[in-house]
Amino acid sequence: MKRIIHFTPLICSIVFGGAVAMGVDLDSYDGPAQGPKVASAMRPYGEEAAMEGIVEEEPEKWISGSFVGSWADGFGQVGDRWQFNQVWMTIQKSADTNMPYDFGYHFDAVFGTNNLQCLGDGGFDGKWGISDDGYAASLYQAYVEGSVGKLVGKFGKFGTPIGYESVDASANNFATHSHMFNNEPATHSGALFTLAPGAPLELSVGLVAGSDNSWQNYRGDTGLVFAATLNLDERFTISYASELLQTHSLLGENRAAQSWGYYLLGGLPIGDQNEYLQSVTAELGLSDQLSYAFQTNFGTMEDRETKTRRYGQYGFANYLTYAFTDCFSASVRYEYYLQQVKPTNVEGKYHDVSFGLLYKPMPNIFILPEIRYDWMNVAGLKADGVTGAVAFGITY
């Protein structure tokens, strides 16, 4: 049995600027109301790093993890104190698709201040509680899997195929997330079947208990998840992923799956809803040094009884990375995101741009400075501001 241990300690963010707002309480505003990614021109931990920051050379048992911390006091950030964002531990045995049949398992235990997106509806791990300073623990993923030839089935709680950025902070090129990421699911509970994982064309379909519902699903949500990934060659990959959900709520509840912007912008409770969300990503290696990624998402929510559309969201983000050397690269991200409530046509519009540098003085040490600027117009109330960070990490 081969065991691989990988830790990423202490990512620290230092703020360079504050925020300027007109009519918005930035101290209480968290931004609009959660995916895998393919390697860019330069990954923080080398090209052999897997999507969740874990090296796996063959399908055997392994243990891995990460520690991610930050200091944040900028626009749209909860901070002014040192905090551990994530302490992450993974235990896994993958089902081997080269065998006629095989079995495996996967468990992700997460602790930290940005772990709340992993708790879902509070079932099971949600009952462990949240500390006064925002720390919580959860089982982000916990599933068993089985394979028959090239068909793999997951059963339990698993990460969503929707989106580009990852819940695992050690797998992203930026310390902050896009607004789209914050309006995409993090997990689903149910069953997901994938045909030919890793092949040029990979297809997945799942029957799930809504999204981000953890173990309890106390309102009985149901839904379908679908994903398709096409690897045209080593330099170009395009992916589509979507969810179609029936979300249930009691009359008067402000409840949705990924349509929380409806309530942020003053929408009234509507009871049961049909929700749809899709994400399309394209990743292109322009050269050995330069890589580009593009993501767009589109979502709607309608009153299930009247079939009236009540909410829509749309966004796109661009990611460009240039590797000057094996030890130094630069990245930029620009995003536009729109939310709209019907029939009032109240809107929330968001623009943000981030610049980041990645420097690796040693193979197991990285330094990641970043600066970000946001422009927002939420129901006519405008705000803009800057957030700066310097991140560092050690892997071993």
pLDDT in tens, 124-159: 666 677 777 778 888 889 999 999 999 999 999 999
Q: Is residue 394 scored above 50 in pLDDT? A: yes
Tens digit of each residue's pLDDT (9 = 90 or more) over 353-390: 999 888 888 877 777 788 889 999 998 899 888 887 77
Class of 19-394 in CATH: mainly beta
- Three-state DSSP state, 327: coil
CA distances from 324 to 181, 287, 327 (A): 28, 12, 8
Q: CA-CA distance, 347 to 61, in Å (whole number)? A: 49
At 290-339, the pLDDT tens digits run 999 999 999 999 998 888 999 999 999 999 999 999 899 999 999 999 99
A 10 A CB-CB count for 368 gives 23
Question: Residue 5 phi/psi, 5° resolution?
Answer: -115, 130
Phi, psi of 263 (to 5 degrees): -80, -35
Alpha carbon distance 215, 212 (integer Å)? 9
The total number of residues shown for the chain amounts to 396
User: Which is nearest to 295 in space by CA: 183, 207, 389?
Assistant: 183
Q: Which amino acid is at 156?
A: G
Among the listed residues 84, 113, 86, 77, the one whose alpha carbon sits nearest the alpha carbon of residue 373: 77
**6-10 mean pLDDT:** 34
For 221, half-sphere exposure in the C-beta direction (CA atoms, 13 angstrom radius) is 35
Phi and psi based region of residue 198 (left: phi greater than 0; alpha: psi -120 to 50; beta: remaining): left
Tokens of 77: 């950030």
Helix (H), strand (E) at residue 261 = helix 261-264
What phi and psi, each to the nearest 5 degrees, are found at residue 116? -60, -30
Can you give the pLDDT at residue 269?
84
Which helix (H) or strand (E) covers residue 264, if one does?
A: helix 261-264
Query: With 90 as the cut, is the pLDDT of residue 162 above it?
Result: yes
Instruction: Spell out the domain ranges in the chain.
Output: 19-394
pLDDT on residue 64: 43
